[in-house]
Structure 1
Amino acid sequence: MLGSVYRAQLPDGKLAAVKKLDSRTAEKQKDREFIELVNNIDRIRHANVVELMGYCAEHGQRLLIYEYYSNGSLEGALHSDDEFKKKLSWNARIRMALGAAKALMFLHEVCQPPVIHRNFKSANVLLDDDLGAHVSDCGLASLISSRSASQLSAQLLTAYRYGAPEFESGIYTIQSDVYSFGVVMLELLTGRKSYDRTRNRGEHFLVTWAMPQLHDIDTLSKMVDPALNGEYSAKSLSNFADIISRCVQSEPKFRPQMSEVVQDLTGMIKRDRPSNESIGD
């Protein structure tokens, strides 16, 4: 939505991801505004946030240079690579959700002023060599908000279906990020895309299809990604579905804070992990 991303090799041999902002966005930004944006992004430092390594603002170009992750995005892992998808065990998926939740909690509840992501989706959750989750595009909300609400509504609600219902009215808050996070959790649970018109009618939109089934253990078990081969506990599955259900509530006030989500996911891992395994930061 914001531009193209390229893989680049730096002089020291290290790989980087270079985001080239699209021409419309670049033309609207003055140099001072872009530098201010870079400075704001550079302040967002967390283990689960993709680190900004540098930038370029010359010859009319607007480039942002980020860490590179060879395992690509969660979207690619779930929907584009069947062999890689087999590596995504149930516990690995819970850990991915937890890592992304920690990133959003940091943005919403630690950063001052709070940072709204505004474009949270599985394509913006990148995976490291240990399948740890790192959220990209943090701090770019000002670029997104420069587009008209109607354009964004069409893209997010129809094409991706990550946007919360209130976004149709041009409203986007921290709680809208929580909704988008719930959609990504649904992708982790089902292995389905947030919007897939190749499926039967009534199953195109993941949230619409899944929500009525989240509280029935029999129907819930039928929704689970077949790639998991049934290797998960019913209790863990039920807890995961409960978090999703709260995140994708149609009314923003009924959605949890991300700190609550982090606490719940951490509790799930503590209950399921072997005694000699640590959760990490």
Structure 2
Amino acid sequence: MLPRNLLVFLLLFSFKFPSLASAENTTFDFQYFTVRDLTLLGDSHLKNGIVGLTRELGVPSSSSGSLIYNNPIHFFDQESNTTASFATKFSFSINNVNPSSFGDGLTFFLSPDNQTLGSPGGYLGLVNSSQSTKNKFLAIEFDTKLDAQFNDPNQNHVGLDINKLNSIKTADAMLQDIDLKSGNLITAWIDYKNDLRALNVFLSYSTLKPLTPLLSVDIDLSGYLKEDMFVGFSASTEGSTEVHSIVNWKFKTFGFLPVRPRSHPHNVSDSSVTIISDVPVSNSTNKHHKRLGLGLGIAGPAFFFVVLAVFGYVSVKKWKDMRTEKCLKAEILAGPREFSYKEVHAATRGFHSSRIIGRGAFGNVYKAIFVSSGTIGAVKRSKHSHEGKSEFLAELSIIAGLRHKNLVPLQGWCAEKGELLLVYEFMPNGSLDKVLHPEAENGILLTWPHRQNIAVGLSSVLAYLHQECEQQVIHRDIKTSNIMLDGNFNPRLGDFGLARLMDHDKSPVSTLTAGTMGYLAPEYLQYGKATEKTDVFSYGVVILEVACGKRPIEREPNSQKMVNLVDWVWKLHGEGRITAAADKRLNGDFKEEEMRKLLLVGLSCAHPDSAQRPSIRRVLQILNNEVEPMAVPRMKPSLSFSCSLTVEDIVSDDEESKTTA
């Protein structure tokens, strides 16, 4: 028999752990999309927080893609024998470059397969044309093409499909004056109530849910929801220019009972407990009970002290964070102004997805219109993570003290309500990346004088950061998407989230490798050491990108081969025709000698050996015709790491790394 104190302990312990078998309701809400928690298959892609399910091409093509929520959804609870109800709301648009070239449509689906991707055309990206009965699914189709193979009623209908594309029931979207191909944003609501055995689909051009469903089906879906399912969207085209986009998405299941703790009673009555205390036991049993009591007596206080230590650690950490924030405010009090959260929230329309103008490792960037002052800003909103906060503090502490005409001006900041916000001057021409590589054919073309100005301005601001500041600033993430263009196409360097401060006489910054592939110096990838020469390498790649109009790493046309920009230009240099690398869109509208000089400057900066790279000051002098250009070998030198980094530097202790921001 168990002693009373152990029995009480076991009874209490049994009440501490709820059952893990019961299913729980699921809810998620994507106001805009990131790659987090989502899988994109086929031709689907992410752009400005919106998922495109099919290719965006100006010419007819065949395409299919799908978007799937990563986590399986529980629709059936074996313990209570309950099938969940579900409701989803999402906004989508179906655009067309050529209205006469349409088809085929998109679907919302549930499937046990998390790799659902079907064929183009009438298969809606949902089933494979060669194995049309293989995929298992429940789907609501939004079909924009009449396909006789699947008994479609017209080219503008909504239908319920189960395991095949011959719809169980359809409805004409025009019954509620909805043209699926209009290009307008359409909001859809799909509700299934298991207790009523009814599925309803609502459509509207507004965000107000209609009173009457477009499609209503009396059906029991419980037989199809006996296993975990994945939810998502699919779409397809076949010889058309139709583009299918999902703008936002909410989903929830309901109907499961809340998970409750389960106890496992030992069938011990009050009288039986009393009896236990009166039963005589042997001396050996008493000794065993004493040892057990002693063990619990020691373990109890030990556990208490562990909890106390953890609580103390968390409290001290919070106190340090608060102290850091107060020190930060004191340091920048004389610099950029502090915005209130209310001001920034109103200026960005509550951080509405329509105001997003950029994304990065730091977080999202929103266009902000400050009505009171009549100014426009760009607000960087930090991700809610330790990394986001550290990058926020780094960027604020660095840029608040910098002044240069080729830096993005910082207007202010805000650290309220758990938000970390930086307010910059709005750059009307966006990023250099977007201008060099426009998504549409009719984008802005940078003239040769603009490109020369960008090269000079960027070298000027880097010379300031590297050699003219009280503490040297190593940017570590120089790339075209971090270079903004003001109203006159002057370059403005931004995004100091990865930047580091260091004294001019100190060793290179020791850190985990950060930055963007294609722009990173080989020694930085090898050793994780950031120096001014790693910034020079990134600058060289940017200059080649500006002169050639090609990305640092790009797929060769009509081939799967990836081409490195530095290698490609160096090869042309070896063949004695380096100016052939010039951006074809310029149509030769440049001076050949100026183009040659800029390309050679780019190659000299992107030299594999950092010791052979010029300083950024030397680069500025070359571009201003103050000194002669450096000689660049015809053949690209083999990779070398004799880059002024000694073994001692590589294994430097923490004392040298304390200069990081």
Cα offset, 1:137, TM superposition: 1.7
- Give 1:164's aligned residue: 521
Which letter maps to 1:67? E
Which letter maps to 1:7? K
- Give 2:365's aligned residue: 5
CA–CA distance in 1 between the matches of 2:404 and 2:424?
14
Cα offset, 1:84, TM superposition: 3.8
CA–CA distance in 2 between the matches of 1:234 and 1:244?
15
CA–CA distance in 2 between the matches of 1:27 and 1:224?
39
- Stretches of structure 2 lacking an aligned partner (at least 5 in a row): 1-360, 502-508, 627-661
Match 2:565 to one of 202, 206, 211 = 206
Q: Give RMSD over aligned pairs.
A: 2.6
CA change 1:27–1:209 in 2 (3 A) is closer
Looking at both structures, which has the greater relative contact order when contacts are Cα pairs under 8 Å and sequence separation is at least 6?
1
* TM-score (norm: length of structure 2): 0.36
- Give 2:554's aligned residue: 196
Residue 128 of structure 1 pairs with residue 128 of structure 2: no
* TM-score (norm: length of structure 1): 0.82
Match 1:20 to one of 360, 364, 381 = 381
CA–CA distance in 2 between the matches of 1:117 and 1:91?
26
Cα offset, 1:18, TM superposition: 0.8
- Give 1:261's aligned residue: 619
CA change 1:140–1:14 in 2 (3 A) is farther
Cα offset, 1:179, TM superposition: 0.5
> Where do residues 88-167 of structure 1 align in structure 2 (5 Å cutoff)?
88-138=446-496, 140-142=498-500, 148-149=512-513, 152=514, 156-157=516-517, 161-167=518-524
* Higher mean C-alpha deviation, range 191-200 or range 10-19: 191-200
Which letter maps to 2:570? M
CA change 1:264–1:156 in 2 (3 A) is same
Q: How many residues get paired?
A: 255
Residue 60 of structure 1 pairs with residue 418 of structure 2: yes
CA change 1:146–1:20 in 2 (3 A) is farther
CA–CA distance in 2 between the matches of 1:133 and 1:96?
5
Cα offset, 1:4, TM superposition: 1.3
Cα offset, 1:39, TM superposition: 3.7
CA change 1:209–1:14 in 2 (3 A) is same
- Give 1:275's aligned residue: none
Greater CA radius of gyration, 1 or 2?
2
Cα offset, 1:8, TM superposition: 0.6
- Give 1:252's aligned residue: 610
- Stretches of structure 1 lacking an aligned partner (at least 5 in a row): 269-281
CA–CA distance in 1 between the matches of 2:553 and 2:428?
26
Are the counterparts in 2 of residues 117 and 177 from structure 1 also a CA contact under 8 Å?
Answer: yes
Match 2:433 to one of 75, 97, 104 = 75
Are the counterparts in 2 of residues 108 and 116 from structure 1 also a CA contact under 8 Å?
Answer: yes
- Per-residue deviation, residues 96-131 of structure 1 (Å, max 9, x unmatched): 111111111110010111101111100111111111
Which letter maps to 1:166? E
Identity percentage of aligned residues: 32
Q: Which runs of 4+ in 1 moved over 6 A?
A: none
Match 1:224 to one of 582, 602, 605 = 582
Are the counterparts in 2 of residues 116 and 173 from structure 1 also a CA contact under 8 Å?
Answer: yes
CA change 1:37–1:91 in 2 (3 A) is closer
CA change 1:266–1:27 in 2 (3 A) is closer
CA–CA distance in 2 between the matches of 1:48 and 1:108?
14
Compare the two structures and name the one with the higher helix fraction.
Answer: 1
Cα offset, 1:140, TM superposition: 4.3
Which letter maps to 1:235? E
